[in-house]
Amino acid sequence: MSLTGVVPAALQVGSIPAATVLQAIRVSGPVTRDHLAAATTLSPATINRQVTVLSRLGLVVERPDLVDPGGIGRPKNPLTLDRDRLCVAGMHIGARRTLLAIADLGGRTLYSHAVLTPHDAAGVADLCAQLRDLAARFSGRRLLWAGVASGGVVDATTGVIDHPVLGWRRVAVGAQLADQLGVPVSVCEHVQAMAAAELMLTHPREFEGTGLFFYARETVGMALSIDGKVHMPLRGAGSIAHLPVDAPHLAPGGRTCLQEVVGSAAARRAAERFGVGENSSLIVDERAEVLGTTVAMLRDVINPDAIVVAGDAFAAHPHGLAPVQAAFDSATTIRRPLEMAPSRFGIRIQESAAVVVALSVIYTDPVAATVRE
């Protein structure tokens, strides 16, 4: 099978043998075949077949230079990802900035920079051309895939984006980028992609159970993962922007929606009204209360096993997540204690989201994703 054009992202931990072996090498490498047998429960014969195929495709490489010189018996060459010959391209489309990135097969960013997001559909062609030019700087590597993470409404099958904040209507981002780069492209809603980064990049979190990912910056969103797979509704992600909240300081009249109070613009307006700084307790305490209460409400509906939060709104309080956690603990009706965990990617969460969209199909089915006819 040869994949071309726009291909839906696969935001999940792969389960077929090739994906299982690649995952084990990516997470624990350098590892020997014996370690792979213990880590994956696959038979030695199956592991050998997968390693042979993955090596032929340039995804993994034997490293005799890493053999322990003090080992007993016949040396066994460790295996690692080949981080030197392959790369992927990523684009995160934000309300203000668009981040362009090139990363290696393990998700390590090789280079990234941000540009202003165009507020007209015609500017998308320029974004695609800029990512093409960036990828050309890495001509010594084979570009395997490209990924786009974006707000708005994303059609993962066609790569078309509707983005009301930007005024985009039926913009074929995926097809335009595929034409520019000549490789398959996946396009995904950005909060779902952020949740996938937590599952799939660096040292993945536990795969079993249900996870809630909550993002709040200038926009808000949530995603749900179940047993190592990010839930991707057939008709696109839903929205939590309209959820009603009480915020008498951040919003005139007090009663408003979540989207209107979490961003820096709301803090700036409130600071001007009350003649205080944007980091005054009047503002940051109320925002923490709103966030903690909202996450608690969603927790009570979904009852996840874990919660991960990301975005400047969660990081803005001088006391970090503690005030948000306190509001959460006070508002939730479920007795089981649950501590919110911050994203491990911090300010690089948008970059990681774009990269994981590019890597997701490769990680899920590395053979089909790598072979080109």
**Angle ∠(323,326,329) on CA atoms, nearest 5:** 155
Please answer whether residues 211 and 196 qualify as being in contact, where contact means their C-beta atoms are separated by less than 8 angstroms.
no
What is the predicted pLDDT for the residue at 218?
Answer: 83
The top-scoring range by mean pLDDT among 28-42, 184-198, 234-248 is: 184-198
Give the Cα separation of 322 and 107 in Å (integer).
30
Query: Which has the minimum average pLDDT: 33-37, 113-117, 192-196?
Result: 33-37
Residue 364 has pLDDT above 70, yes or no: yes
Quickly state the pLDDT bin for 263 (edges 50, 70, 90).
confident
| pLDDT given at position 146 | 98
**Cβ atoms of 284 and 268 closer than 8 Å:** no
* pLDDT of 1 strictly over 50: no
Query: Taken in order 191, 196, 201, 202, is the CA torsion positive or negative?
Result: positive
Query: Tell me: the pLDDT tens digits for 183-229?
Result: 999 999 999 999 999 989 866 655 578 999 999 988 899 999 999 89
DSSP run (H or E) holding 340? none
What's residue 73's pLDDT? 42
- Percentage of the chain beyond pLDDT 90 is 73
> Can you point out the beta strands (E) in the chain?
60-62, 79-81, 86-93, 97-103, 109-116, 142-150, 153-155, 160-163, 168-172, 185-189, 210-216, 220-226, 229-230, 244-246, 255-257, 306-310, 341-342
Average pLDDT over residues 89-114: 95
- Confidence grade of residue 66 (pLDDT, cut at 50, 70, 90): confident
Residue 76 has pLDDT above 90, yes or no: no
Q: Model-level pTM?
A: 0.91
Contact indicator for 5, 152 with CB cutoff of 8 Å: no
Q: Determine the Cα–Cα distance for residues 71 and 64; give it in Å rounded to an integer.
A: 13
User: In the predicted model, what is the mean pLDDT of residues 135-153?
Assistant: 95
> Looking at residues 37-45, what average pLDDT do you find?
90
Q: Give residue 29's pLDDT band: very low, low, confident or very high (50, 70, 90).
A: confident
- Exposure letters 80-90 (e unless 16+ CB within 10 A, then b): bbbbeebbbbb
Separation between Cα atoms, residue 53 and residue 59, nearest integer Å: 9
What is the three-class DSSP state of 48? helix
Least confident stretch, 28-37, 60-69, 284-293: 60-69
Whether the link from the prior residue into 17 is cis, omega within 30° of 0, is: no
What is the predicted pLDDT for the residue at 39?
Answer: 86
Tell me: pLDDT of 4 over 80.
no
CB 60 within 8 A of CB 32: no
DSSP per-residue codes, 299-334: HHHH--SEEEEESHHHH-STTTTHHHHHHHHHH---
Residue 74 has pLDDT above 80, yes or no: no
The highest-confidence range among 22-26, 184-188, 345-349, by mean pLDDT, is 184-188
Whether residue 165 is predicted with pLDDT greater than 90 in this model: the reply is no
Q: Which pair of tokens denotes residue 14?
A: 């792969």
Q: Alpha carbon 240 to chain centroid distance?
A: 18
Residues 6+ apart with CB under 8 A from 23: 13, 14, 363
How confident is the model at residue 219, as a pLDDT? 85
State the pLDDT confidence band at 101, using cuts at 50, 70 and 90: very high
Task: Categorize the per-residue pLDDT at 235 as very low, low, confident or very high, splitting at 50, 70 and 90.
Answer: confident
- Mean pLDDT estimate for the chain: 91
